[in-house]
Amino acid sequence: MGTLDGKVALVTAGSRGIGRGIAEALLVEGASVVMTGRSADKGEKALAEIGLPDRTAFLSGDATSRADVAGWVTSTVERFGRLDVLVNNAGGSDGFALVHELSDEAWDKAFTFIVDSAFWATRAALPVMLENGGGRVINISSVEGKMGNKATVAHYISAKHAMNGFTKAVAFEYGQQGITSNAICPGAIETDLMVEVGPRFAEENGVTYDEYKSAYAKDAAIGRLNTVEEVGAMAVLLAGPAGAGITGAMLNVDGGTSPY
């Protein structure tokens, strides 16, 4: 028996990276999991690799589209009859630059992708959770949501700080209705996305990709990058019965990088 038998989770951007790690961890504990993403091909590949057709589904769409995000919640309930756990994992940024050179487009995109997508999904999920008598909202923030010591990512840092504030607001408003709201703040993890984006970001900061990764590892007390499995384990804790008394928390899975 898993700790999440009979529960249904929606994991945005769940076909790879941190989202995929969380989805697989929830599945091990018995949950049914709906993953979302922009690429239907990547979604189908993820479903085939996981190999649990009765307890998994993939929904394609864009996390920067209000209609797509709200539709994911509706489709999850249509597919599995309920929604108990929402993992707002979608989010990122581009157009990296110092503040005086940062574009409106990059700033707006970061907030839409990170903050707005979490708001839209949570707003749609809360009525379902209230009807069920409880639920879990888990926002994937970042160590950068607690710090501000990296250049050219002010838009990402600011949006992750805002996500943490939203997490606490939801926790306060819905705690007495059995709904918890927490944020996981991972440190650096070498996901597919980091492999794609990291070299360009490193070049813009005048270092090699290996130097970029090493800098994150040196900042951590454990002397290495974190793993998606470590983030997945934290998500399982928050999603399950043992997490019922944890809410409004910004929980680090950063190897000791953040000072608090």
Residue ranges in the chain assigned as alpha helix (H): 17-28, 40-50, 66-80, 104-111, 117-132, 154-174, 192-204, 209-219, 228-239
Concatenating the DSSP letter of every residue in 154-179 gives: HHHHHHHHHHHHHHHHHHHHHGGGTE
Interatomic CA distance for residues 250 and 242, integer angstroms: 17
- Model pTM? 0.96
- pLDDT tens digits, 193-216: 777 777 877 787 788 888 888 888
- Tell whether 121 is covered by a domain: yes
Q: Is the pLDDT of residue 93 over 80?
A: yes
Task: Respond yes or no: is residue 174 known to be catalytic.
Answer: no
- 119 and 201 together in one domain: no
Mean pLDDT of 87-99: 96
pLDDT of residue 197: 75
Chain mean pLDDT for the chain: 96
SS3 38: coil
Q: Is the pLDDT of residue 84 over 90?
A: yes
Token pair 């839209």: residue: 120
The total number of structural domains that make up the chain: 2
- 17 and 129 together in one domain: yes
SS3 131: helix
- 14 and 114 together in one domain: yes
- 131 and 215 together in one domain: no
Q: Whose CA is closest to 170, among 238, 120, 122?
A: 122
Return the amino acid letter for 83: L
- pLDDT tens digits, 106-164: 999 999 999 999 999 999 999 999 999 999 999 999 999 999 999 999 999 999 999 99
